[in-house]
Structure 1
Amino acid sequence: MDGGRWRGGGGGVSRGLLPLLAVHAVNEYYRLPWKPPVTAGLLAANTLMYLRPSFLDSLLPSIDEVWFNPHLILKNKDMKRFFLSSFYHIGESHLAYNMMSLLWKGIQLETSMGSSEFASMVVVLLGMSQGITLLLAKSLLLFLDYKRAYYSEYAVGFSGVLFAMKVVLNSQSEDYTNVHGLTVPARHAAWAELVLIQMFVPGVSFLGHLGGILAGMLYVKMKGSYSGSDPLTMIIRGLSSALRWPLRFIRDMFRLRRRRISGRGTTGGIWRCQACTYDNSGWLRICEMCGTSRSSNGGLSRQVSRDSRHLPLEELRRRRVERFG
């Protein structure tokens, strides 16, 4: 998350980072044998929130209505700020950096987990990271009388969820990774990035990123103690299956129609005449070439004419030319 105050309605003029992001995303998806749909949806949602195209502008709240501020959220029970603040960004570089990170982490996690479980995880991490950030700010106010984090900090951005995803992604890794030029164990990469960002990037939300790390740790702990799919994953899986059913129905209808039209071009829809060896459509009961009947079990009926069995090869060729010539 980015903190501080920023006034404005959305995207503004592109400085070239968004086209670069688009090219990179398309290139990454093009080389994948399976295209992770949830990651693509999250990329599109964040980008559309920032660009605010005319058909969405009147429907989307302004950034001033969604800043994550603990005091306003608790005072007004403002769930809009609680959830939507993660999908807003204060500049093109902020959006591009977060979406590059989302693309890399999302592809790996969704490919390994499956789309339903990945979608469930993102929803849980979003709620937990925001909730923990809120709890941390309130705790600092109550126990240390630190008011700035509770009253004065305003933050937006998807980075809280991204920090949580980083923890989940690296939770079982024994490798080392590079964090802004510093080589650290992958399991501790999120903590190293938290410290380095605070040192070199002014104005970012420390509590927002810390809340994301703690949310990721809590998710890994809960996942390790629970076997099987969680209820939210099962709900998402059921909804996605229900949404795919009409598409499967339409696709199967088109396949059936093509099968009826093509006849001979379908597997299992061809039978070979034992009299003249001509391949006929499965919809026909009589050989197109020599007129021999087909029995119900796919062979010849017993009423095969002797003439049909002993037709000369040249005569069969002549009939075929006459039929299709």
Structure 2
Amino acid sequence: MERGRWSGGALSRGMLPLLALHAVNEYYRLPWKPPVTAGLLAANTLIYLRPSFLDSFLPFVDEVWFNPHLILKNRDMKRFFLSVFYHVDESHLVYNMMSLLWKGIQLETSMGSSEFGSMVVALLGLSQGITLLLAKSLLIFFDYGRPYYYEYAVGFSGILFAMKVVLNSRSDNFTNVHGLIVPARYAAWAELVLIQMFVPRASFLGHLGGILAGILYLKLKGLYSGPDPLATIIRELTGLFRLPLKLIRNMFRLRRQRISGRGTVGSERRSLSGTWRCPACTYDNSDWLRNCEMCGTSRSNNDGVLRQTSCHSRDLPLEELRRRRVERFG
């Protein structure tokens, strides 16, 4: 999260094409494209760009700044939940989205989309809630807590810090944090200190809340051995959305299996009701016909046992059989 006044859309957008190019390149080389990460990237970018067709739906940044005082005073949950999707300027957005792209691809690929989506929702609530609790606690117990209680902040970085904790929780490797080599499991703490030193506008409580949210999420997940209920709900909802698409796809598949005319050609021996299947060319004919429309083979009266009148019809290629049918009914 970052403090300061809103300047979204007012600056040059020269960095956004680079972000788009990088995202497309990363997704192109992946055999499986993580959809939740892509959705989060698109949502954050669209909110920053604020195209005209979204004007009637999107609140303005003045309505969503994360401000502990206003959230608690007015019980303003809009500020609580939406502030993470707004960014101060282009560099703020691009830096966060680059980080989201790298962390999101790794986490979603390893966890699956349903569980990853569930984790993002949980981390959003935990990080914002912990930040709010920290700000209120500092105001009550310490004199210097007042600026934190009244500060304005926006941005996705609190959730990104939580993701970093989850991603590196089981790693014994070392990682590079802005030129400093540290154990991967402590990378979020090192980044918290370095960012606060070199980017004074960054929200210290917002980032700290994200780290603590990641730790708490791992603790809660370790205590609960059953299936993630939120991930189950997300999985069921996505299954409902997939059902109409599956039905449409099956309809087109059935159409491709049929040919124009009054019958079908196939390899199954079971024929449709009111038809009989020719053993020579497997064409389905109407029960009213005694001879096959396609190849001329006649039908016997022995309940499905068919008799050929043409000794060459079984050897005819399919294209020749189709040509003969066209000539017959042309």
Report the TM-score range of the alignment, normalised by the length of the smaller protein.
0.7 to 0.9
Distance 1:206 1:143 in 2: 18
Structure 2 match to 1:198: 196
**CA deviation profile, 1:104-130 (whole Å, cap 9, x unmatched):** 111111111111111111000000000
Distance 1:108 1:269 in 2: 49
Q: Does structure 2 retain, via aligned residues, the 8 Å contact 1:69–1:155?
A: yes
Distance 1:186 1:293, change over 3 A: farther
Distance 1:259 1:196 in 2: 63
Structure 2 match to 1:22: 20
> Which residue among 213, 216, 227 is the counterpart of 2:214?
216
Q: Does structure 1 retain, via aligned residues, the 8 Å contact 2:166–2:218?
A: yes
TM-superposed CA distance for 1:60, in Å, is: 1.5
Q: Tell which deviates more after alignment, 82-91 or 232-241.
A: 232-241
> Which residue among 12, 19, 43 is the counterpart of 1:45?
43
Corresponding residue pairs, total: 315
Q: Does structure 1 retain, via aligned residues, the 8 Å contact 2:71–2:80?
A: yes
Structure 1 match to 2:295: 289
Q: Does structure 2 retain, via aligned residues, the 8 Å contact 1:270–1:281?
A: no
Q: Tell which deviates more after alignment, 46-55 or 172-181.
A: 172-181
> Which residue among 171, 174, 191 is the counterpart of 1:173?
171
Distance 1:319 1:212, change over 3 A: closer
Structure 2 match to 1:308: 310
Q: Tell which deviates more after alignment, 144-153 or 51-60.
A: 144-153
> After superposition, where does 1:1-325 map in structure 2 within 5 Å?
1-3=1-3, 5-8=4-7, 10-261=8-259, 278=281, 280-281=282-283, 286=292, 288-291=294-297, 293=299, 302-305=305-308, 307-309=309-311, 322-323=324-325
Which residue identity is paired with 1:108?
Q
TM-superposed CA distance for 1:290, in Å, is: 4.8
Q: Tell which deviates more after alignment, 144-153 or 256-265.
A: 256-265
Please give the root-mean-square deviation of Cα atoms over the aligned residues, in Å.
3.1
Q: Does structure 1 retain, via aligned residues, the 8 Å contact 2:173–2:184?
A: yes
TM-superposed CA distance for 1:260, in Å, is: 2.1
Q: What secondary structure does 2:181 align onto?
A: strand
Which residue identity is paired with 1:2?
E
Which residue identity is paired with 1:97?
Y
TM-superposed CA distance for 1:205, in Å, is: 0.6
TM-superposed CA distance for 1:323, in Å, is: 4.8
Q: What is the percent sequence identity of the aligned residues?
A: 69
Distance 1:267 1:81, change over 3 A: farther
Distance 1:295 1:202 in 2: 93
Distance 2:240 2:315 in 1: 56
Q: What secondary structure does 1:261 align onto?
A: coil
Q: Does structure 1 retain, via aligned residues, the 8 Å contact 2:107–2:116?
A: yes
Distance 2:151 2:239 in 1: 41
TM-superposed CA distance for 1:302, in Å, is: 3.8
Distance 2:266 2:110 in 1: 35
Distance 1:319 1:267 in 2: 15
TM-superposed CA distance for 1:131, in Å, is: 0.3
Which residue identity is paired with 1:304?
R
Q: Does structure 2 retain, via aligned residues, the 8 Å contact 1:287–1:294?
A: no
Distance 1:213 1:311 in 2: 76
Q: Does structure 1 retain, via aligned residues, the 8 Å contact 2:139–2:149?
A: no
